[in-house]
Amino acid sequence: MAALQNVPAILRQPIKRWRLAFTTIYFSRTLRSLLHDSASNNSIKLPSSTPHFVVLDVNADAGADFSNIDQTSLATLVKEKNLDRLLEFGGVEGVAIALRSDVRNGIHGAAKDVAQRQAAFGSNTYPRPPTKSFFHFVVEAFKDLTILVLLVCATLSLCFGIKEHGPKEGWYDGGSILVAVFLVISVSAVSNYRQNKQFDKLSKVSNNILVNVVRNERCQRISIFEVVVGDIVCLRIGDQVPADGLFLDGHSLQVDESSITGESENVEVNASGNPFLFSGTKVADGYGRMVVTAVGMNTTWGQMMSTISRDTNEKTPLQARLNKLTSSIGKIGLTVAFLVLVVLLVRYFTGNTKDENGNKEFNGSKTKSDDVVNAVVGIIASVVSILVMSIPEGLPLAVTLTLAYSMKRMMADQAMVRKLSACETMGSATTICTDKTGTLTLNQMKVTRFWLGKDPIEDSSSIAPSVLKLIQHGVALNTTGTIYRDTTGKLEFSGSPTEKAILSWSVLELGMDMEILKHNCTILLVEAFNSEKKRSGILMRKKTDNTIHVHWKGAAEMILAMCSSYYDASGRMTDLNAAERMAFEQIIQGMAATSLRCIAFAHKQIPEEEHETGEGRKKIEEDRLTLIGLIGIKDPCRTGVRKAVEECQHAGVNVKMITGDNVFTARAIATECGILKADQNMNSEAVIEGEVFRKYTPKERMEKVDKICVMARSSPFDKLLMIQCLKRKGHVVAVTGDGTNDAPALKEADIGLSMGIQGTEVAKESSDIIILDDNFASVVMILKWGRCVYNNIQKFIQFQLTVNLAALAINFVAVVSAGEVPLTAVQLLWVNLIMDTLGALALATEQPTKELMEKQPVGQEEPLITNIMWRNLLAQALYQISVLVTLQFKGGSIFGVQDKIKSTLIFNTFVLCQVFNEFNARKLEKKNIFKGIHKNKLFLGVIGITVILQVVMVEFLNKFADTERLDRGQWEACIAIAAMSWPIGLVVKCLPVSKKPFLRYPKW
């Protein structure tokens, strides 16, 4: 011992430091053990404020043991809002310590640490109800009444056929119908199953929200599914709370709990009275941080969401109209089928129906009962087949296909569709109201100008130290952004683009040290920024001299209006008289005219006695401030935005810019983007401030709303007001929005477009489509896709109705005149397959073309079948009817063939006519039907498959399809007759049509 005491003092210093570290660690672990014991035994209640100490994580990679934490108690603590129980845990900090989470620096965040937390507390996911299997869609397809009737007919035909002709040949008729029905069911089930998978995929993407967490001293964005118990989550206005947890720190935090409780009133969250936060709720105001205590199925939200599945049966307005159209056409088909049934039955039982040898099929009592049943079953099968083909069930399928296809392609074009109806509604849009920041501009902000007093500052060394400190305090404390410095000294700024630009400028240009400034001050009160107030403020106390200060930051002209004096570069304070104020206004206007966003900083020192008398106040003083300085932030316009705006204007769609910036900045950006013409001066009605628009009378607003191109200094209420006016004037309005306060406008608009990068979760949930890259060019692409969906449906309607009309006419004429159906049940089902499924696949997947943006918007109440479509389909249908009737009555003599080959010629010609007419349907108005065909590989593939299958049906499946093989000359004749569809289509498109609708079906 004596030897140890003789060790020089310099050697004792490291030993003292190790002893101190050991004592600290031992004390920390002992206290944490006491905390755990108190929580487990419910015997010791600790005060809510825990001692200020730091738990030293000696070996972060060694892993954490959470076996001593009761997960159920922790989850129940928040669910029941049990403050007494929270005190037993040692308050919020006690819970954080128990979860091995540093309230300032977060969890370690290494892969092993995250894995152990997920193993102990579960992952932040919840099981979804199982997705519908392929078998489910097969069963749904079997529920179709016509399919069931056909199956009954096929079964009866199969039984009687085998009984009469034996199993070797007797199965052909019934088996053929069964195979055809199987094909129809398979194609329908496959398409619906794929669509369902597409919706599930989109649902997973839309639920994958990015969350700000602090891990290993660094603020970072991670997927909501990666959040674990113990994570420190940063919350801002509009964020969704990603898990259950406890409030750590923050200011003015208010949460919308309506998704959980159903109550519309916002709930204030604070450290003393209500520190509980629930997964799935939304931040309505303020900001804060929370420690996560429960994730996934251990939260109320997770248990609720696991029972909910997304409804993929959403019917869009266009689908509803097409269902009515299908129903109307189906009634006509049912009438024709019934008449055919009556005629065929009368002819059979009166002895007018003859077999292949010319003998009567029915001879009264001499005819076997099996033969009678067989004949009747055959008649019913043919009639049902006519009915199946006459009902254009391919129309809803075509809408489903084109919507599913366009949704997939729009995803690649940076647009995620949340509501199907938005796809088609966008095609009718007449006005787009767009934000400026991030949509028309790049959202890459940088401070380029700085004014102190009335002088521009180029070098921070010329600024008085007292003023420099005020600026640094105003930036460092009045912000929701953060700064992270890694081990190499590299800086990483996080927050909104504006906050990042200001923080970067303050650190790099003014030498600000954010950590020191925050350490030396205590924030007493905060007013968070939102798009309505356009400013944020703090009330703070300096620890060095205990003085109270107010700092404001926000839109330059609004902050200027709150000031009565200003600082110059030397630090001298000068009164702000009318002349001085005008000089500052001109500085602001000058910066704004060069497309700069102007931000001002103001300050005021509050006397101690004045602060004491106002203790407990909820509002920060905002008058008689001193202006510190002005900065100008540059946000360049996106490349290609002007071209995109011009495309919209050329397509008859008005583009209006609604922004929170001042009128000069707004006008400069709008002119640069092409929304405003250079000759539209400031006094014109094209540029207006939100406040002015708000003060108009309702009549004045309705008169002037069409003329407005730019609305500056607008609030979310002004945006909502403009949308309501535009809709009342008959416009179909698309609106972009990113803030929480934009939610009412996004819901009110016909199409709500939220921003994927800058948009809050509240805005996204209120929108119909999410623009993933925040780019206006993507909005234009959505417009093109919307028009493309509508155009593709019209193409398919024209093609479908041509076949329906021709098939019904030829069958009706043939039955009434000759007493026979020219096409068998199998052949009719094959034609139906070509029309409904393959036709829909070919025509519903055409991509947008430039031609779509050369037309004016189509009104939502306009008839689906236009005069142009009537002209095209009637010409083709009349040609097909005339050809098929001629073949029916004169085909045998023209070609010198027997009835069986004649029937095959009719069937082959009819199918090939549809193949050639499919090319005509690609272009409703343009004469060149082959333009861009090489880009649609699916169309060419479908045509190729159809032709190959038709050859197989005619040449190889003779017994199955009831056909005879055709020679080369007969094939050439069929192709030549069908190919006439092209020149007929070309000639018909030269005929003018009236603009007045030929037939208007309001319900369609």
DSSP bridge pairs for 417: 769
Q: In this structure, is the dihedral angle defined by the CA atoms of residues 21, 26, 31 and 36, taken in order, positive or negative? A: positive
Using DSSP's 3-state secondary structure scheme, residue 18 falls into: helix
Distance CA 154, CA 136 (A): 23
Render 255-299 in DSSP notation, one character per residue. Answer: EE-HHHH---S-EE--SSS--EE-TT-EEEEEEEEEEEEE-GGGS
Distance CA 712, CA 690 (A): 6
Distance CA 373, CA 775 (A): 68
Render 655-702 in DSSP notation, one character per residue. Answer: EEEE-SS-HHHHHHHHHHHTSS-TT--TTSTTEEEHHHHHHS-HHHHH
Distance CA 322, CA 65 (A): 61
Nearest CA to 276 among 132, 113, 456, 89?
89
How far out from the chain centre does Cα 72 lie? 36
CB-based contacts of 151, cutoff 8 Å, min separation 6: 178, 181
DSSP bridge pairs for 107: 215
Count how many Cα atoms sit within 13 Å of the Cα of residue 768 in the half-sphere of its side chain. 25
* Catalytically active residues, by annotation: 435
Check if the beta carbon of residue 234 is closer than 8 Å to that of residue 263. no
Q: What are phi and psi of 537, to 5 degrees?
A: -145, 160
Check if the beta carbon of residue 353 is closer than 8 Å to that of residue 361. yes
Count how many Cα atoms sit within 13 Å of the Cα of residue 113 in the half-sphere of its side chain. 20
Distance CA 473, CA 520 (A): 10
Using DSSP's 3-state secondary structure scheme, residue 235 falls into: strand
Residue 22: exposure state from Cβ atoms within 10 A (0-12, 13-18, ≥19): exposed
Helix (H) or strand (E) holding 798: helix 776-818
DSSP β-ladder status, 282-294 and 563-567:
unpaired
Distance CA 855, CA 272 (A): 62
Count how many Cα atoms sit within 13 Å of the Cα of residue 1004 in the half-sphere of its side chain. 16
* Residue 679 structure tokens: 């000759």
Q: Which residues of 271-294 are buried (b: 16+ CB within 10 A; e: fewer)?
A: beeebbbbbbbbbbbbbbbbbbbb
DSSP H helices in 80-209: 83-88, 91-98, 111-121, 134-142, 145-165, 172-207
Distance CA 103, CA 10 (A): 36
Cα distance from N-terminal residue to C-terminal residue, the chain: 102
| Helices and strands (DSSP H and E) totals, the chain | 37, 26
Residue 523: exposure state from Cβ atoms within 10 A (0-12, 13-18, ≥19): middle
Nearest CA to 714 among 777, 660, 646, 666?
660
Distance CA 745, CA 996 (A): 35
Phi-psi region of 341 (alpha: psi -120 to 50; beta: other; left: phi over 0): alpha
